Amino acid sequence: MTRIIIAGGGIAGIAAAIAAAKAGCEAVVLERAAAFEEVGAGIQMGPNGRRALESLGVWEALERHAVMPGAINIRRAADGALLGQVPLDKRFRERFGTSYQVVHRADLLNALLEVARATPGIELQNGRRVSFYKTSDGAISALTDDGCEEAGDALIGADGIRSSIREQLLGDGPPVLAGHVLYRALADIEDVPEAVDTSCVTLWLHKGGHVVHYPVSAGRKFNIVVAVNEDWRSDKWSTPSRGEILTEVFSGVDSRLKAVLDIPRKWLRWAGADRKPAPLWGKGRMTLIGDAAHPTLPYLASGAVMALEDAVVLGQRLAANRDDPAAAFRSCETIRQPRAARIVESSHKLAGVYHAGPPLSFFRDQFIRFSSGRRGMERMAWLYDWRP
C-alpha cells in the first residue's frame, strides 16, 4: 500500500490524509504543534467549500456547527449605506445546488479530525516538526526536529504559509507582506448590540481599511475581522493587540460599525502576506498543497476552501494512479494551478479596491451597486461553481 507522509496537520494536511486514505493509501500526518488546534477566526465557505467537504465525507460532522447566513451585505462604512447585496436564499441554493456557510476554524478542524480518526489507514502524530526531506530510489523521507526519519513512498508539504518543505523545494524565501494587517476577534453573540445584524455576512468598506463580520459556532459566536493599511511586520499568526489603530482608521463611521469595533477588548493580529503563484508545486514523489502551495490574502475568503479542493483533487488523482504517486501529484498540480493562481491574483487586487478612497471608491461603489443581487451571484460563479 502506498504510504504518504504529510508535513502539517492544519486544514490542508488533515483533509489530504482523509482523501489519500479514501483513495486506498496509508497517510501519516506529522504536526509540529503539541496538539491539533486552530485559534479563533471564522471561515466563509462558498458552495464549492461545502461540496469539497461532502466529497471528503466531513460535512455531516461539521453541519451542526455551521451557520447559513441570510445574505452578504456590502456597506459603506462612512454612512452605513447598503451598496450591494447577494441574497444567500433559496434562489442562491438553486443556482449553485447547495448553500453558502460560515464556520469557526476550530469547528472545521475538529470535524476533519473526527473523520480522520475514524478512517482506517490514517496516523496522526503531534510534536513532530519536519525540517527537511530527502529522496532516494523509490522512497522519500521526512526528517523531524526530534532527529527521527519518517519514510514513505510520497510526501505532501501541507505546512502552511511559511512552509519549510516549500523552502527546500523552491528556495523562494519568506512570503511577501502586503502592507495590510488583519485584526481578528471572536465575541459571544449576546455581547453584540441589537442594532447590529448578526444573521448575515456584512462587509464594510472604508478608506484605508475594511471590516467583515458574521456569526459562527451554530450562532453562539460572532466573528469580526478588520483589515487596515499598516506597516507592521511579524511572522506570527496571532499577536495580541489592543487595536489602537482601528479607532483612528474608522473614526466617524456608521454607529452600527462603531458598535461592532467597540466589542472586543483584545484583538489578534496578523501581518497579511501572500506570494506570486509558483510555477512548480513539487518534484517526483512530493508536492505542496494548501497555503504551502498558494498562500493568498483572505479577501476572496478562499484559502481554506482551496486547501479542501486541493485535497479532493489529490485524492481523485491518487485513486487513479495508486501505484504512481508522482503521476498523481503532477496531474493534480496541472488541474489545480490555474484556479489557485486566479484566486491569489484576484484576492491581491481586491486589497487595493477595498481600501480605496475617492475618486476610486466612487467607481467601486457604483460597480458594487450595479452587480448587486443576481448579477453578484453570477460574478462569483467562477469561484462557487467548482465541483469535485
Residues 208-227 that bind ligand FAD (CB under 6 A): 225
Residue 11 within binding range of ligand FAD, rule CB under 6 A: yes
Residues 296-325 that bind ligand FAD (CB under 6 A): 298, 301-305, 307
Report the residue from 2, 3, 5, 8 that binds ligand FAD according to the rule CB under 6 A. Answer: 8
Give the nearest distance from C-beta 233 to ligand FAD in angstroms: 15
Residues facing residue 269 across a β-bridge: 183, 239
Q: How many CB atoms lie within 10 A of CB 174?
A: 11
Q: Which is nearer to ligand FAD, 83 or 130 (CB)?
A: 130
Give the nearest distance from C-beta 207 to ligand FAD in angstroms: 20
User: Which window, 5-13, 60-68, 254-262, 347-355, contacts ligand FAD (CB under 6 A)?
Assistant: 5-13
Give the nearest distance from C-beta 359 to ligand FAD in angstroms: 29
Q: Which is nearer to ligand FAD, 8 or 369 (CB)?
A: 8
Nearest residue to 16 (alpha-carbon basis) of 271, 219, 230, 293? 293
Report the residue from 28, 66, 124, 130 that binds ligand FAD according to the rule CB under 6 A. Answer: 130
The answer to whether 297 touches 178, Cβ cutoff 8 Å, is: yes
Report the residue from 107, 291, 309, 365 that binds ligand FAD according to the rule CB under 6 A. Answer: 291
Residues facing residue 36 across a β-bridge: none
Residue 62 within binding range of ligand FAD, rule CB under 6 A: no
Give the nearest distance from C-beta 125 to ligand FAD in angstroms: 9
The answer to whether 28 touches 101, Cβ cutoff 8 Å, is: no
Report the residue from 69, 121, 160, 215 that binds ligand FAD according to the rule CB under 6 A. Answer: 160
The answer to whether 154 touches 54, Cβ cutoff 8 Å, is: no
Q: Which is nearer to ligand FAD, 7 or 23 (CB)?
A: 7
Give the nearest distance from C-beta 101 to ligand FAD in angstroms: 10
Q: Which is nearer to ligand FAD, 122 or 252 (CB)?
A: 122
Residues 19-48 that bind ligand FAD (CB under 6 A): 30-33, 41, 43-44
Residue 51 within binding range of ligand FAD, rule CB under 6 A: no
Q: How far apart are CA 317 and CA 297, in angstroms?
A: 28
Q: Which is nearer to ligand FAD, 145 or 262 (CB)?
A: 145
Strands in the chain per DSSP E: 3-7, 26-30, 42-45, 71-76, 82-87, 101-104, 122-125, 130-136, 139-144, 149-152, 154-157, 176-188, 201-206, 209-216, 221-229, 239-241, 267-274, 282-283, 286-288
Residue 210: its H or E element: strand 209-216
Q: Which residues are catalytic?
A: 214
Cα separations (Å) of 110 from 49, 59, 96? 16, 12, 26
Q: How many CB atoms lie within 10 A of CB 251?
A: 8
Q: Which is nearer to ligand FAD, 37 or 324 (CB)?
A: 37
User: Which window, 73-81, 84-92, 159-167, 364-372, contacts ligand FAD (CB under 6 A)?
Assistant: 159-167
Compute how many residues bind ligand FAD; rule: CB under 6 A.
Answer: 35
DSSP per residue over 27-87, as a string? EEEE-SSSS----S-EEEE-HHHHHHHHHHT-HHHHHTT-B--SEEEEEETTT--EEEEEE
What angle in degrees, to the nearest 10, is found between the helix axes of 303-320 and 47-56? 40
What single-letter DSSP state applies at residue 145?
A: T
Report the residue from 13, 69, 215, 325 that binds ligand FAD according to the rule CB under 6 A. Answer: 13
User: Which window, 112-120, 247-255, 290-298, 354-362, contacts ligand FAD (CB under 6 A)?
Assistant: 290-298
Give the nearest distance from C-beta 53 to ligand FAD in angstroms: 11
Residue 273 within binding range of ligand FAD, rule CB under 6 A: no
Q: What is the total residue count of the chain?
A: 388
282: cell is 513539487
Residue 12 within binding range of ligand FAD, rule CB under 6 A: yes
Q: How many CB atoms lie within 10 A of CB 258?
A: 15
Nearest residue to 384 (alpha-carbon basis) of 105, 100, 70? 100
Chain positions contacting ligand FAD, by CB under 6 A: 7-13, 30-33, 41, 43-44, 129-130, 158-161, 164, 182, 184, 225, 270, 290-292, 298, 301-305, 307
